[in-house]
Amino acid sequence: MRMTFGVVFGGALLVFLAVAMAAVFIPGWVYTPPQTTVALPRTVEQERGRIAYYSNGCNYCHTQYGRFWDNSGEPVARGGDYFFDNPMTLGSERTGPDLAYIGRRRGEQWEMDHLRFPRDFSPLSIMPDWYFLPDQEQKDIVAYLFNLGDRVAQERMILPPEPYMGVQDPQPSPLVTAVPQGQSQGWATWAGSGLQEGKELFTSHCLTCHGCAGNGLGHYAGTLFVTPANFKAEPIRSMPDDQWFWHVSEGIPGTVMPTWKASNLTQEQRWSVIRYIQQTFADPIARDPDEGDPTGSYTGVTNPLPLTVDTLQQGKAIWLRECMVCHNDHGQGNGEYSQGLQPPPPNFNDPASYNSYTDADYFWRISEGLPWSAMPSWKTLYSDEKRWMLVHFIRVNFTQTEPRPQPMVSQDYPAIYLAQTMPEGTSFERGKVVYLRNCAKCHGLGGKGNGWGGQYLNPKPADFTDQKLRANSEGTFFAKVSYGVQDSAMPVWHEFMPEGQRWEAIRYLQESFIRGRPVNASQSNGGVIGADVVTLSTDIWTGDLGRTISPDHGGEVYGQYCVGCHGDRGQGSGSDTTGTPSGGPAAFPTRMDPVYSFWRTRHGVPDSIMPPFRYLLTEQDIWDLTAFISSLVGVKFGG
């Protein structure tokens, strides 16, 4: 046959028609998947919305099908999901998010507002503004979108895809044989549980981001746009096994969470670290480490490092970087991140427990961690020498079971620090909070060096009301706050606190304790009061919430934090006010309004040295404290 134009064109047309029949028409005739529960008949309004959706080209950017490899948490698309779609148009690409299961995930008004002006909700969106569509057409599109998917409106975490869906820990709670009574149970049962490997993996692989307290505030976390997970908070702590294994194996999209399955962590290692996280942070119970005495290569070892000021300084830097968040800078075990840890960190100011400890006791525990606790295995991150420096620092400053070495030379601070001056814009009010959270526990709320946590320290914390300090330049304060004071427990704050916060703390202590800033008088403020407390309700606190109000406990809180300035009866002449340039607060007014007392305790008094105790005390503490103060001024509060 001669290959004329007509023959070629006719053959090509036949081939095109055959392909179209095979790919488009025949599948539509023969493929009739059963209807799924996702597919339901549409109302007239919803059908109009579907037509408008496709006629306006929404499917060019939004698909409507779930794929096997998606991390959306939605089911993989099935043919029966599109039972009522004719023709079935799934969309071409994902310039915008897939909408297969968008129904009920966002409110109808939200959908309407977003359709009209999408950049009001997503500033970087390239979606056009559809405000020009007729009102009815907009309503129809919203009705269509609101009907897509399985219509589950429950707030929940993204579910894991196959093959993670439904997987369970193959060995969730290993059985162990208890050792004979009277012998140490800790390490024997810990070894039998297999959790030591999980602890060491967590220390070496996870601690940098999630922190040794498991709250997502490790050293590297502060550089990330997405804060790592807090294992102690919902919904993370209650995740089922498949969620844990999926996230640890695949990482978290949009974050720096690694894909650990692609590293050298086997499945068993991943499960091991998950068990450690679950039992230590997410769902702990009160257990005694019961570790016994040092064993193996740790038996009888002694510190090989000379006890020098330089050794203590290096140990201090490690303490502040790694240990302070749980043990606190005064070593009493009530650090900012210790909440929820079981057992809690120890109080080194306990001679009955620690006077008998040897070098080996400390080195062993620092190196291996404690069984059935969150104490990390620091041997995975620090050399023997660094851990021995930490032993010296703890023994000299906290347990005080080693003599303090005498410095050979005076401490020199960098000249560039000494030359600094107070930056403009430094906030006294922010400095008040920084001082309260980081400095007051040692230096005291009155700045006299008699804080509730540091009274046992030797040398004593500085008294900022001392006349000699008034000659110090701003640069001298900055250098001492940044580098600490050698041969003492005074932290090297540049290891922990940003420069701006150091300056704000300095401004607060200078204006409060060196130059003076009189405390505002306690009064009912002419009826003006904070909006967040004006409807304060003891009935809801004690009734709906089932809490109690204890003036006795409030008296204990008052004695620890308030009596130094306000005096034992609220007369405003506590011992911390003697010799201070800011003077003392006014006496509590007779029959002072309890709501006002609660408000000022919680939020502080602006432009005065009275701090906002919400950063230090729990809400329960403040209720109890308010009840006690009310008893001092003759007002009944809290039943």
Q: How many CA atoms lie within 13 A of 419 on its CB side?
A: 3
Please name the amino acid found at residue 621.
Answer: D
pLDDT, residue 171, reads 87
Q: In angstroms, rounded to a whole number, what is the distance separating the alpha carbons of residues 286 and 274?
A: 19
pLDDT, residue 30, reads 76
Alpha helix (H) residue ranges in 132-205: 135-146, 186-193, 195-201
Angle, CA 36 vertex, CA 34 and CA 37 arms, to 5°: 150
Class of domain 415-514: mainly alpha
pLDDT in tens, 290-315: 999 999 999 999 999 999 999 999 99
How far, in Å, are 28, 118, 620, 627 from residue 538 at the CA level? 68, 44, 12, 11
pLDDT, residue 629, reads 96
> Do the first three CATH levels of 33-146 and 188-282 match, i.e. the same topology?
yes
pLDDT in tens, 218-227: 999 888 888 9
Read off the pLDDT band of 526 (50, 70, 90).
low
Q: In angstroms, rounded to a whole number, what is the distance separating the alpha carbons of residues 192 and 176?
A: 6
pLDDT at 524 over 60: no
Q: Could you tell me the residue ranges of all domains in the chain?
A: 1-31, 33-146, 188-282, 309-397, 415-514, 525-632
Report pTM: 0.85
Give the mean model confidence (pLDDT) for residues 318-327.
95
Question: The tokens 């250098």 sit on which residue?
Answer: 479
pLDDT at 519 over 90: no
525-632 to CATH, choices 1.20.1090.10, 1.10.760.10, 3.40.640.10, 3.30.70.380: 1.10.760.10
Helices (H) and strands (E) in the chain, counts: 25, 0
Which of these, 605, 603, 626, lies nearest to 616 by C-alpha position? 603
Give the mean model confidence (pLDDT) for residues 7-22.
84
Tokens of 138: 């907009």
Enter the DSSP assignment of 167: -
pLDDT, residue 209, reads 95
Give the mean model confidence (pLDDT) for residues 189-201.
94
pLDDT, residue 630, reads 95
Alpha helix (H) residue ranges in 453-550: 474-483, 499-509, 538-539
Q: Beta-carbon neighbour count of residue 129 at 10 Å? A: 13
Tokens of 96: 């915008």
Enter the DSSP assignment of 131: T
Read off the pLDDT band of 1 (50, 70, 90).
low
pLDDT, residue 322, reads 95
pLDDT, residue 516, reads 87
Residues with Cβ within 8 Å of residue 389, at least 6 apart in sequence = 305, 311, 312, 314, 315, 318
Give the mean model confidence (pLDDT) for residues 465-490.
94
pLDDT at 389 over 90: yes
Indicate the CATH number for domain 188-282: 1.10.760.10
For the chain, what percent of residues have pLDDT higher than 90? 74
Read off the pLDDT band of 153 (50, 70, 90).
confident
Superfamily for domain range 33-146: Cytochrome c-like domain (1.10.760.10)
Q: Please give the CATH topology (third level) of the domain spanning 309-397.
A: Cytochrome Bc1 Complex; Chain D, domain 2 (1.10.760)
Contact 520, 596 (CB under 8 A): no
pLDDT in tens, 214-271: 999 999 988 888 899 999 999 999 999 999 999 999 998 888 899 999 988 999 999 9
Read off the pLDDT band of 520 (50, 70, 90).
low
